Amino acid sequence: MSRSDSIVAKVELKSNIEKFYGFFRNHVEDLMNLFPDLYQGIDLVEGQYLSAGSVILFKYHLGADQVVSEKWLIRAVDDAKKCIIYEAIEGDLQKYYKVLRAKLEVVHGRSSKIGRGSFAKWTIEFEKANENVPSPDSHMEIFVKISKGVDAYCLSKQGN
């Protein structure tokens, strides 16, 4: 019997957390422009764009030569807490994971809304289809990479 597990990563933010969260909340399709080597497609397939209940089809590179096509449901959006929960519901990864859920939380530091302790926290909850399936570390690597890239992009737009 498989069991649920999770992995967590934090990425320090230098940009304004409102802009950083706003990117993931309102402009996730722009990941294709920022990371053309990673994303081949990001398309809304169901619901209102980037709201709870909507489904987005992501086509992306996972590893060296593996292109994955996966539908992700936006399970929850909490703008007050700056939190978005995605869940893989259909696609290539279903043969490896019974459950694959990613949660993004944007947390501001005590000192300021810009830098000084602010971070993006990614939590991936998963349940493997069998014991031979690896943890979704490659997904976490993608989330860390795009967080750093989006942070740099938002910082460049701040005029700093």
pLDDT tens, 136-158?
999 999 999 999 999 999 999 87
Report the 10 Å Cβ neighbour count for 42: 16
Percent of the chain with pLDDT over 90: 78
CA distance 17 to 155: 10
> Whose CA is closest to 133, among 85, 98, 90?
98
Please report, for the chain, the start and end positions of each structural domain, with discontinuous segments joined by +: 4-37+74-157
The per-residue pLDDT of the chain, averaged, comes to: 90
Confidence at 160, pLDDT banded by 50, 70, 90: very low
Residue 140 per-residue DSSP state: H
- Average pLDDT for residues 100-128, to the nearest whole number? 84
User: What are the tokens at 65?
Assistant: 């030569």
CA distance 129 to 25: 30
pLDDT at residue 66, rounded to an integer: 82
CATH number of 4-37+74-157: 3.30.530.20
Q: Residues 25, 51: contact at Cβ < 8 Å?
A: no
Confidence at 74, pLDDT banded by 50, 70, 90: very high
Report the 10 Å Cβ neighbour count for 106: 23
- Give the pTM: 0.90
Which amino acid appears at position 71 of this protein? Answer: K
Three-state SS at 136: coil
Exposure string of 125-142, with b = 16+ CB inside 10 Å and e = fewer, is bbebeeeebeebeebbeb
pLDDT at residue 63, rounded to an integer: 73
Alpha helix positions (H), 6-136: 17-26, 31-34
pLDDT at residue 2, rounded to an integer: 56
